[in-house]
Amino acid sequence: MDNMDIFISLFFFLVYSTFILYFGKYGLGQSSHLRTFFVANNSLGLWASIFTFCATWISMTSLLAITGAFYLEGITPLFSVILGWLLGASLLLLIVNKLREYDLLTIPQFFAKRYQSKLLQVLAGFVNICIHLIYMVIQIYGFGLILSYLLDIPYLLAISMVYLFLIYTTFGGLHSIARTDKLNFYWIILSILSLAIWLAWKLIEKGEFASYAGQVLTFNPLLLPASREFTSSLDILSFLSVSIIWICGKATHTQYLIRVVSAKSAQTATKMIWVSILILSVFYLIIAFIGTSSGYLITEYVDQNPNEIILLIIRDISNSYLTSFIFLGFLASSISTANSQLLIFTSSFSYDVLNILFKQRINEQHLGVINRFLILGGASCAFLLSITPPSTLLGTGSYIWGILACTFFWPFYGGLLWKRATTKGAYAAMFVGLISCLLFTYYDTYYQQSQVHPAIYGLVFSGILFFGVSLYSTQNGKIDNEGT
Amino acid sequence: MKGLNKYSIEHKMLLSFLTLFILAMILAGAFSYWSTYQLYKETMLIKFNETTEYLHGFYEYLLDLEERQKITTQEAQAQFLQMVQSIYEDSDIKITTKEGAILLEQTEGIQPDSIFAQEIIREEYLAWGWLIQSSIVINPLAPFLIDIQKYTIILVIMTSMIVIQIIIGLSHHFAQPIKELVESVEKIDVNIYPEVRLSGRKDEIGILYQAFSNMLLRLKKSQFKIMKMQKLQKSIIESTSFGIISVTYPSEQLLMNQAAKQIFKKEYKLFRLNKSPIKQGLFYKVKEVARQTWQEKKEQSTLYTREHEQNRFVVELQTKLLYGEDNKEIGVLCNLQDITEKVELEERMIRLDRLVSLGELAAGIAHEIRNPLTGIKANTQVLQKRLSTLEKQGVSDATFLPFMTRIIKEINRLNQMITRLLQFAKPKESKQELIDLSAIITDTLPIISKQLEERCVQIIREEQPGLLFLFDYDQLKQIIINLLLNAIQASANNSQIVIKTGLRGDIVFLAIEDFGKGMDTQTLQKIFNPFFTTNPSGTGLGLSVVHRLVEENEAQISVYSQPGVGTRVEIAKKKIKKGDTHDKNSDDY
């Protein structure tokens, strides 16, 4: 990287930072109440909701890991990962109206309202805290990688800079995040399009577009070796188990559910989901093109860390302006996801755990101050953990979704869509789902790798217990309150 | 919260702090770069000088060896060139002979590739006839400097962002409570007192919040008192039966109370005015009088009367000037009073007085006439008898007898009139009881059947069954007889008379309607006067007696008539409700 490149990169970084400062400021005046801070006073319009939904969705997993997977495995991830994710998002359509009737501030609060159990709220809050902390680590790791590539600085210095963006944008609550997500969304999309156009131009320049297309279309995923990234599917059982976990995990992911709540109406939320699925479908097709075309054009990175392949390819672009612009787009995606997760981490910690455990001593004003400290604390914990990041982003993401699916899927969707769901059923499903998921994942990781996703056992157990215990307790005349 | 207003405190604080900070950071950055560059330059110069001096020392050492003949000149020159090549790394050097031949040229150092680059050249002539030209380029954009400054710039950006975020946070911390306070103040309106959430701060802003909150509380209390008073005033104005209208000038804006609206509505209903009564009727009159009052600055008092067919509407209108805060006229206050009933009552009272006086007079005369009339009648009857006896004896002329009969008949008629007069002047005390209207009509009709047959008049009864009047039975019968006789008299042969009873609201009425010749307005006004009659053979006392009896029984009589169409006489009395009478059998009549 020569001198001018550094200055260009620094210039782009400065421009992005200035934009973030400007857009993030808006939320500071909107964060005086918990409802405003956590769910933007349930007032987000259609496009604001779409921008924040999509910007939060497009994370380091999508940009680094999935692109790397496309590079290595061809279009297989479209079926083994992306399809499951989008189907999971479409499940949200089933519960929009019912979920909004509960008038929630946080998603764990649903369990308290539906099942009249504060313990379930605390448990859900605790799981949320752990999951989102790990997820933040993935984003910060991605942030560090990108920034170290962009500015040619050590990884540790790069990840320490995450504070600049993360804390600032989260301090203003969901309003601030939604505003900065608008900028992030545009930048991500433009950078992805720029990269795709550059690769397409390279293919055309070399006269190999037809050859590339032929190779992609005749790609046989069954010829690939098994991958612990859960992107390759060797057999139908493996494919189904992984897909089910992706679907159930995405469908119960708090950061998407909270955007259903924060939309100004059920109609807006429904439209948000439809349009977002459409945008994301196009987005993943572009990502598939980027991954596969770069895999076709540049073959020397096959042995590299899959998460860094796309960064190496971007670095190879001869135009420093384009390189910096694309890198900043990737950086924007990590920030937009991380700040959303930090807000969920904070809301779960303060409202679902501390507020329940110390209700007598905490009022709304206290919670406002506590939230700020938790943002600092959460960001710091995630920063410390990201010093030694996970080796595989997609694998870690898959385990996180596994825990979400096992713990929340049945009590959440069952509670909303099945009238006979009982508190006991929810208890059994959540506890057994979580514990069995952790045990099977541990066994799978350290003892014997299973052909199917380990979390599938937890999901099955959780479902059986949820329906079984609910029906049993209903037959014994103990029908729970249905909530609102 | 809306976007930042460029004149807001937060904006001003942000701008000034940011400007100061950015200036400071630029200065600090520039100074840092400049000092690093100076250090770099100094280091490079020292190194260059040291190299030059070292080379010079080596050259002197070689000369010394050459003088002592330890080495030859060629050997010394070769060693010198070897040394030059080994020690010049970052700078350029060129060695030429007297003849201009280049012995050595090394240009591996930095070229002056930018306008900021500075080249330092040293030249030295050696005893061997060689010219040594060494130079060094000091470039402010040297990669080494850039590499160092990259971290400086990153540090500056990081620090700037942190400081800017802190400034934004601090500005927000100071300005936000003031903004909220401003928003609260903007929301204040009549009846709207926004809740001011105390910021929980103990600084001047906290005190300001407390003071503002207290002020709002006091304002709320005062406003509540004012509202209460206004409500009371409004209630008084609205509940009065006087119509009150205020007209403010020059806008001529009108405000009126409910009673005034009712008065206008009444006129509209009675006379079926157009929907927009701007240029007609009372409304126009009020505006006209108000304008006159305003122009002349003089209070007015006038009567507004409107009559059409049977309807009458009389309003008393008074105007006064309205004064504003500075005792200056601001408009006119109009006071309206519907005095139609009052006027009618007065007229009735006058008529009653006149009737009473007339009755008393007539009774006195009648009483005085009756006694001699009794004597005249007795004597006439005696004379009649004697004449009859004489006639039988053939003494007298029989032609005198019919005259006697006629005299007695006239005396009887006179007596009958006197009886009626006395009845009119001093009717027997009414003894009210509950009377079934249909029953009394049925009882009365046979009495006048002869007159009906004579004129071939048909009675049509349109009665509502079960209606009761609290009335003196004989007097009501008398009233019905008198009214029917009048109706028969007014009707043409082979015509109809309608007897109607019914309930209108809480009023029970009995109406007798003929389709005879009718009366004009002037006649109508006189019909209750004693001795007023349009029938040459009538006494003019029938309707006077009816009127008197109606008054006696606390009922109302109304007459509607149109010449050539017919006449309707209506006796109305308020419906008797349970408890209004001592008759225990009565329920709701």
Chain A CA closest to residue B156: A14
- Encoded tokens for B463: 């009665």
- Which pLDDT score is estimated for B15? 79
**CB B123, CB B132: distance < 8 Å:** yes
The shortest C-alpha distance from B201 to chain A (Å) reads 12
A153 neighbourhood in chain B, CB within 8 Å: 150-151, 154
Residue with tokens 């400071």: B24
Beta-bridge partner residues of B93: B106, B134
Selected for mutation to probe chain B from A25, A175, A363 (highest B CB count within 10 Å) is: A25
Residue among A10, A161, A168 whose CB faces B165 most closely? A168
- Tell me how far apart the alpha carbons of residues B58 and B51 are, in angstroms, rounded to a whole number: 10
pLDDT-derived band at B2, boundaries 50, 70, 90: very low
Rounded to a whole number of angstroms, the distance from the CA of B165 to the nearest CA of chain A is: 7
CB contact at 8 A, B66 and B73: yes
Taking the C-alpha atoms of residue B135 and residue B112, their distance in angstroms, rounded to an integer, is: 11
Please judge whether A21 and B168 are an interchain contact, meaning their C-beta atoms are less than 8 angstroms apart: yes
> Above 50 in pLDDT, residue B3?
no
Residues B455-505: tens digit of each pLDDT: 889 999 998 888 888 888 888 988 998 899 889 888 888 889 999 999 888
Compute the mean pLDDT over every residue in chain A, rounded to the nearest whole number: 86
In this structure, how many other beta carbons lie within 10 angstroms of the beta carbon of residue A12?
20
Q: B8 in contact with A at a CB cutoff of 8 Å?
A: no
Which of A32, A155, A156, A376 would you mutate first to test chain B, the one with the most B CBs within 10 A? Answer: A32
- The answer to whether the CB atoms of A10 and B146 lie below 8 A apart is no
For range B15-37, the mean pLDDT: 82
How many helices (H) does chain A have, and how many strands (E)?
23, 0
pLDDT at residue number A483: 40
Angle at B385 between CA B380 and CA B389, to 5 degrees: 145
Given a contact cutoff of 8 angstroms between Cβ atoms, the answer to whether B131 and B96 are in contact is: yes
What is the mean pLDDT of the segment spanning B335-362? 79
| Residue B150 sits at the chain A interface (C-beta within 8 Å) | yes
B109, two tokens: 């150092």
pLDDT at B103: 83
Q: What's the confidence (pLDDT) of residue A469?
A: 92
Q: What is the DSSP string of A353-412?
A: IIHHHTGGG--HHHHHHHHHHHHHHHHHHHHHHTTS--S-HHHHHHHHHHHHHHHHHHHH
Q: Which residues of A touch B164 (CB under 8 A)?
A: 21
B200–A contact, CB cutoff 8 A? yes
Interface contacts A/B by beta carbons within 8 Å: 49
- Residue B100 gets the label, from left (phi > 0), alpha (psi -120 to 50) or beta, of left
Q: How far apart are CA A331 and CA A109, in angstroms?
A: 32
Q: What is the mean pLDDT of residues A52-75?
A: 90
Q: Identify whether the C-beta of residue A26 lies closer than 8 Å to the C-beta of residue A176.
A: yes
The amino acid occupying position A75 is I
pLDDT tens digits, residue range B530-569? 777 777 767 677 888 888 888 888 888 888 888 888 899 9
Express each pLDDT in B79-112 by its tens digit: 888 888 888 766 778 888 888 888 888 775 555 5
Question: From the list A3, A13, A167, which residue is nearest B143 (CB)?
Answer: A3
Nearest chain B residue (CA) to A153? B151
pLDDT for the residue A233: 47
Is B7 an 8 Å CB contact of chain A? no
- B17 pLDDT above the threshold of 60: yes
According to DSSP H, which parts of B68-142 are helical?
Answer: 73-87
At A484 the pLDDT is: 34
Closest in B146, B154, B161 to A151, CB measured: B154
CB A9 within 8 A of CB A324: yes
| Nearest-Cα residue of chain B relative to residue A148 | B154
The highest-confidence range among A44-53, A368-377, A444-453, by mean pLDDT, is A44-53
Model pLDDT, residue A225? 41
Structure tokens at B183: 């928003």
Instruction: Give which of A409, A412, A434, A428 is closest to A483, Cα–Cα.
Output: A412
Q: Distance (Å, rounded) from C-alpha B460 to C-alpha B499?
A: 6
B168: chain A residues, CB-CB within 8 Å:
21, 25, 28
Q: How does residue B204 score in pLDDT terms, banded at 50, 70 and 90?
A: confident
Smallest CA–CA separation between A29 and chain B, in Å?
6
Residues A21, B146: C-beta atoms closer than 8 Å: no
Q: Give chain B positions within 8 Å (CB) of A32.
A: 176, 180
Chain A interface residues (partner B, CB cutoff 8 A): 3, 6, 10, 13-14, 17, 21, 25-26, 28-30, 32, 151-153, 157, 161, 164, 167-168, 171, 365
Cβ atoms of B535 and B498 within 8 Å: the answer is no
- 3-state helix/strand/coil string of B470-504: EEEHHHHHHHHHHHHHHHHHHCCCCCEEEEEEEEE
Q: Is the ipTM of this complex over 0.90?
A: no
pLDDT of residue B114: 62
B521 touches chain A (CB under 8 A): no
Q: What is the pLDDT of residue B587?
A: 38
High-pLDDT (> 70) share of chain A, %: 92
The whole-number pLDDT of residue B396 equals 64
Report yes or no: B154 at the A interface, CB cutoff 8 Å: yes
Q: How confident is the model at residue B6 (pLDDT cuts 50, 70, 90)?
A: low
Q: Letter for the amino acid at B30?
A: A
The pLDDT score that the predictor gives to residue A226 is 40
The secondary structure of residue A234, as a DSSP letter, is: -
Say which of A10, A17, A25 has its CB closest to residue B153: A10
Q: Which chain A residues touch B179 with a CB distance below 8 Å?
A: 29
Residue type for A306, please? P
pLDDT of res. B112: 52
Q: Is B442 helix (H, G, I), strand (E, B) or coil?
A: helix
pLDDT at A29: 64
Give the chain A residue nearest B10 (alpha carbons): A29
Give the nearest partner residue to B146 out of A3, A25, A32, using CB atoms.
Answer: A3
- DSSP H/E element including A285: helix A266-297
Question: Do B562 and B521 touch, CB atoms closer than 8 A?
Answer: no
A222 pLDDT band, cuts 50/70/90, is: very low
Closest CB to A25: pick one of B154, B162, B168: B168
Question: Whole-angstrom Cα distance, residue B327 to residue B531?
Answer: 62
Q: How far off is chain A from B152, nearest CA to CA, in Å?
A: 11
Higher pLDDT, A438 or B177: A438
Is the predicted pLDDT of residue B117 greater than 80, yes or no? Answer: no
Q: Provide the mean pLDDT of chain B.
A: 80
Average pLDDT value for residue range A380-398 = 84
Residues of chain B neighbouring A164 (CB-CB closer than 8 A): 158, 161-162, 165
Most confident of A415-424, B38-47, B281-290, B405-414: A415-424
Would the CB atoms of B150 and A161 count as touching at under 8 Å?
Answer: no
Integer angstrom CA distances of residue A46 from A106, A263, A269, B332:
20, 7, 7, 58
Comparing A123-132, B3-12, B411-420, the range with the smallest average pLDDT is B3-12
CB-CB contact of A146 with A389 (8 Å): no
Which of B150, B153, B176 is opposite residue A29, by nearest beta carbon?
B176
- Report the residue of chain A nearest B170, measured CA to CA: A28
Of A29, A168, A171, the CB nearest to B1: A29
Question: Percent of chain B having pLDDT more than 90?
Answer: 5
Instruction: Give A204 to chain B, closest Cα distance, Å.
Output: 37
pLDDT of the residue at B497: 93
Residue B469, classed as helix, strand or coil, is strand
Of B146, B158, B200, nearest to A164 by CB-CB distance is: B158
Quote the tokens at residue B108: 């591996």
pLDDT one-digit tens code per residue, A68-102: 888 888 888 888 889 999 999 999 999 999 999 99
Residue scoring higher pLDDT (B309 or B311): B311
Cα dihedral sign for A18, A20, A26, A31?
negative
Where do the H-state alpha helices sit in B394-433? 401-425
Reply yes or no on whether the pLDDT at B580 is more than 80.
no
**Predicted local confidence at residue B133, as pLDDT:** 85
| End-to-end Cα, chain A, rounded Å | 60
- Determine the pLDDT at residue A325: 92
| Distances in whole angstroms, Cα of residue B82 to Cα of each of B50, B68, B78, B103, B555 | 17, 21, 6, 11, 150
- Find the farthest-apart pair of alpha carbons in chain A and give their distance in angstroms, rounded: 76
Contact B161 A17 (CB under 8 A): yes
Q: Give the per-residue pLDDT at B534.
A: 77
For the stretch A168-211, pLDDT in tens is 888 888 988 998 999 999 999 999 999 999 999 999 998 888 88
Does the beta-carbon distance from A6 to B179 stay under 8 Å? no
The predicted structure's pLDDT at residue B26? 80
pLDDT band, very low/low/confident/very high, at A274 (cuts 50, 70, 90): very high
Q: How far apart are CA B530 and CA B356, in angstroms?
A: 10
Which residues make Cβ contacts (< 8 Å) with residue A225, sequence separation at least 6?
A232
Measuring CA to CA, which residue among A423, A438, A437, A429 is closest to residue A462?
Answer: A429
For B140-145, what is the mean pLDDT?
A: 74
DSSP E strands: which ranges in B283-392?
300-308, 311-323, 329-338
Greater confidence (A138 vs B187) lies with: A138
pLDDT of residue A228: 40
Least confident residue range of A98-102, A106-110, A460-464, B121-125: B121-125
Max avg pLDDT among A268-282, A465-479, B335-349:
A268-282
Are A365 and B150 inside 8 Å of each other by CB? Answer: no
Return the pLDDT at B31.
85
Asked whether the beta carbons of residue B150 and residue A21 sit closer than 8 angstroms, the reply is no
Specify the pLDDT at position A120: 92
Q: How far is CA A13 from CA A46, B97, B145, B157, B459, in A?
A: 30, 55, 20, 9, 111
**A255: distance to nearest CA of chain B, Å?**
25
Among chain A residues, CA nearest to B157: A14
CB of B195 within 8 Å of any CB in chain A?
Answer: no
Task: Please state, in angstroms and rounded to a whole number, the distance separating the CA atoms of residues B134 and B56.
Answer: 12
A164, B162 Cβ separation under 8 angstroms: yes
In A376-394, which positions are buried (b, 16+ CB within 10 angstroms) versus exposed (e)? bebbeebbebbeebbebbb
pLDDT score recorded for residue A194: 94
Residues A463, A198: Cα–Cα separation, whole Å: 47
Statement: residue B71 has pLDDT above 60: yes
Residue in chain A nearest B179 by alpha carbon: A29
The string of pLDDT tens digits covering residues B237-259 is 888 888 899 888 887 788 888 88
Q: What is the pLDDT of residue A4?
A: 62
Q: Put residue B255 in one of left, alpha, beta given phi > 0 → left and psi -120 to 50 → alpha.
A: beta
List beta partners, residue B557.
Answer: B571
